[in-house]
Structure 1
């Protein structure tokens, strides 16, 4: 009797959760992965699905997001015309990317920028500290990870100095990524100095019943005086101190320093997340009057789990299909969907040189196996895969034909496409693309190419394990 009851209960739960999966439109791979997990490990699979199976930001967040979207689009339409550049001034391929970007998130192509590539964390942090010390009106930061120690202590001191001389300073910190920092002396110093701090997407057991806890704020944004901004892959963490016991070496990052109107656009993007978290009004200050500092054309491209479409994946696909000669990508985590994989293979088959640079070691065993499952498909069509040996290569960059660069916080995986708040800079600038390509060549010089014949000689058990993990990759 007990067995029959448990069997009926088991079937009922499987059917209920399966119907729930079918009731929500998701990618074929994601739905299949969840069904497989629930069938193979029913109790664990159902529990995990209830916790992280759906992009649940919570009722309050979604209500705010629905109300906020038209406000952000209205704000974007009011960007002064003198900063907006017609996409028709770009090359045909770049124009298609720019139009897609504007159609997806509403932010236009803008001119009048000076871009400076900062090739490592030390240079990035030192430049940021100098700008904070020179701030006259405001300092606004949004970073996924804050971790005290090393040059981060110098940054904290600079923020305290700015606050003490009356500069409004604010910071967004992801609740999970910065969790140890909230208990640190450095956090207390910022609070005591009057820095306004917003904890984004708070993590606690009660919220797990209503909100998916692995939806995170993965952005890295700094804005000083609304005229200078930074974005890229670097967290507020000194690689000499951060995750030294992970066995992957030091994290290798790069940032871009932006002078021009895109700075206050990045600030508005960050303030929109502040509004989502706090319920405050979305009311960015009027655009400041800035002297033209350069001639670079850029677009800011935010993305996040509140959207029903993978806007950032669409952007990357457009860039890949626009390529004529070369595509070079760097990413710490490469677990693409089938559409991105097909686009890269198609590019190689039509004669575009495609180079993928990834770290030899990453801080997730499952991600490493899932990523390896794609190697054969990529190598077989002539795509070059380089394993970086100088630490955990964390820079996220794509350079197309040395003319267009997509640079920011997005990893080439479904987590960045679907689950995280991310931000990218699209630079339609040959000089910045050349600088980024030069940095990528430095990474290449510290990398080892993966050979197809050697790769296919790996043990069969590894191939089976990689393919098995890859099937579950939508859940990673």
Structure 2
């Protein structure tokens, strides 16, 4: 009996020591919103919450990976000094000038003129174009993707790479170790035997602890073919229906011109970070391919700032007439949420387009918790019905478009490696507006009075899910 009493006292004391240690430690190592979520979890279940925080509490990377990112960024800055003739200089003041300058300071890439940007809104058309471009390659193919599945699309890309390698084309494939697990298992062997250099990024399993926080992912979707064609967008190397019941709708930018040098540099950066091997960027075709000024923005935990979040907030804050944001996952941090509210209250037409269906249950409930306060501020929220809208893009006024892999959630802002293409071109924005109008034609616009009629138990679930926003 005495042993049981003493053990109970020790367990009680240990529980409270964990709570007090967490209170002193977690707020120093995590942003306020994340710290609140973790402290709540540790406060309720100390013996479970503390180990989980040690695993997932903050986006740390191994020193080696941070050093390689710093080296890659320095190489990018050094190389751009010799490419000053490609720089696009916007008007001294205004939206484009502010955004281009901010993006360059965040992600190291300067805005360059002379690009063409083709928007591919049809899933099959985009995959067919990628495979055709690989089949036409004569020198090299570089692919960097989050997902590659063992399905009809994965096999089509794999076979195209094998054919290209058989023609003597240098092929490299970077795949996220977790997101593309099935593709790596199915295709790494056959592709390696065909001469394709296949590497897994942010490897999981027993290796993760020496490399990074275990749930950090490389979420980018990039392709570069012969230094003449590039792809940037939301589409993975998988069939549209790879999540049963949620067929995806995507948006991909097929680009030509000087911005391809930035896509090549971004691929080379990830290759260096993952393998330690420095790739030579090589020469690119001279001359201009079009009239669109463009700029790549990389983002990820290896950068000193949350590049994607900072850019999105700046775009919303600098809008003067209209901003449209399209994302499958909407779990914003306080800064993003505040920017949307203030823009709408200032009279800006703020349109948020989300998917009515969602393949992540916790995220679906969490994002619903934001609708009431946004609708009250005047933000319009549309729920797209026909497919799972997995596209990720943003347009501001008639001046700027952002297309890429960036979701409007805390994971995408702080934990994932992402890539976005900024286009400073009214024509590209007009084409994007037509795609957005197509979404809206098949979407349900939420009304505040209607939304408030939802069952009370829905509100409770939404509130509980929102408490886990920093854990998603």
**TM-score, structure 1 normalization:** 0.95
Q: Which whole-Å CA distance do the structure 2 matches of 1:152 and 1:23 have between them? A: 44
> SS of 2:91's equivalent?
helix
Q: Which whole-Å CA distance do the structure 2 matches of 1:209 and 1:92 have between them? A: 45
Shift of 1:433: 0.9
Q: Which whole-Å CA distance do the structure 1 matches of 2:94 and 2:71 have between them? A: 35
1:86 partnered with 2:67: no
**Which residue matches 1:370?**
366
- Kindly indicate whether the alpha-carbon contact (under 8 Å) linking 1:113 and 1:295 is maintained by their aligned counterparts in 2: yes
1:4 partnered with 2:9: yes
Q: Which whole-Å CA distance do the structure 2 matches of 1:58 and 1:162 have between them? A: 35
**Which residue matches 2:437?**
441
- Kindly indicate whether the alpha-carbon contact (under 8 Å) linking 1:87 and 1:99 is maintained by their aligned counterparts in 2: no
Shift of 1:209: 7.2
Deviation track 1:252-297 (CA, whole Å, cap 9, x = no partner) reads: 111000000111210111110111111223x432442323210100
1:55 partnered with 2:56: no
Alignment length (residue pairs): 467
**Which residue matches 1:259?**
256
- Kindly indicate whether the alpha-carbon contact (under 8 Å) linking 2:306 and 2:413 is maintained by their aligned counterparts in 1: yes
1:15 partnered with 2:20: yes
**Which residue matches 1:302?**
298
- What RMSD in Å do the two structures reach over aligned CA positions? 1.6
> SS of 1:410's equivalent?
coil
Farther off after superposition, 432-441 or 146-155: 146-155
**Which residue matches 1:172?**
174
| 1:277-356 → structure 2 map (5 Å cutoff) | 277-281=274-278, 283-356=279-352
1:453 partnered with 2:424: no
Q: Which whole-Å CA distance do the structure 1 matches of 2:149 and 2:139 have between them? A: 26
**Which residue matches 1:418?**
414
Q: Which whole-Å CA distance do the structure 2 matches of 1:108 and 1:157 have between them? A: 36
Q: Which whole-Å CA distance do the structure 2 matches of 1:327 and 1:137 have between them? A: 40
**Which residue matches 2:3?**
none
Q: Which whole-Å CA distance do the structure 2 matches of 1:430 and 1:351 have between them? A: 22
Farther off after superposition, 55-64 or 415-424: 55-64
Q: Which whole-Å CA distance do the structure 2 matches of 1:203 and 1:311 have between them? A: 25
Q: Which whole-Å CA distance do the structure 2 matches of 1:238 and 1:412 have between them? A: 24
- Kindly indicate whether the alpha-carbon contact (under 8 Å) linking 1:328 and 1:399 is maintained by their aligned counterparts in 2: yes
**Which residue matches 1:112?**
114
Deviation track 1:225-262 (CA, whole Å, cap 9, x = no partner) reads: 1121001000001114x122xx3x20111100000011
**Which residue matches 1:125?**
127
Q: Which whole-Å CA distance do the structure 1 matches of 2:332 and 2:263 have between them? A: 27
Shift of 1:205: 3.6
**What stretches of structure 1 of length at least 5 have no aligned partner?**
none
Q: Which whole-Å CA distance do the structure 1 matches of 2:447 and 2:69 have between them? A: 47
- Runs of 4+ residues deviating >4 angstroms: none
Shift of 1:27: 2.1
> SS of 1:69's equivalent?
helix
**Which residue matches 1:195?**
196
1:204 partnered with 2:205: yes
> SS of 2:377's equivalent?
coil
Q: Which whole-Å CA distance do the structure 2 matches of 1:206 and 1:326 have between them? A: 46
- Kindly indicate whether the alpha-carbon contact (under 8 Å) linking 2:120 and 2:251 is maintained by their aligned counterparts in 1: yes
Q: Which whole-Å CA distance do the structure 2 matches of 1:344 and 1:450 have between them? A: 16
**TM-score, structure 2 normalization:** 0.95
Shift of 1:65: 2.9
**Selected match of 2:139 from 133, 137, 140:** 137
| 1:383-402 → structure 2 map (5 Å cutoff) | 383-402=379-398
**Selected match of 1:357 from 353, 356, 372:** 353
- Kindly indicate whether the alpha-carbon contact (under 8 Å) linking 2:153 and 2:237 is maintained by their aligned counterparts in 1: no
1:163 partnered with 2:160: no
Q: Which whole-Å CA distance do the structure 1 matches of 2:211 and 2:286 have between them? A: 44
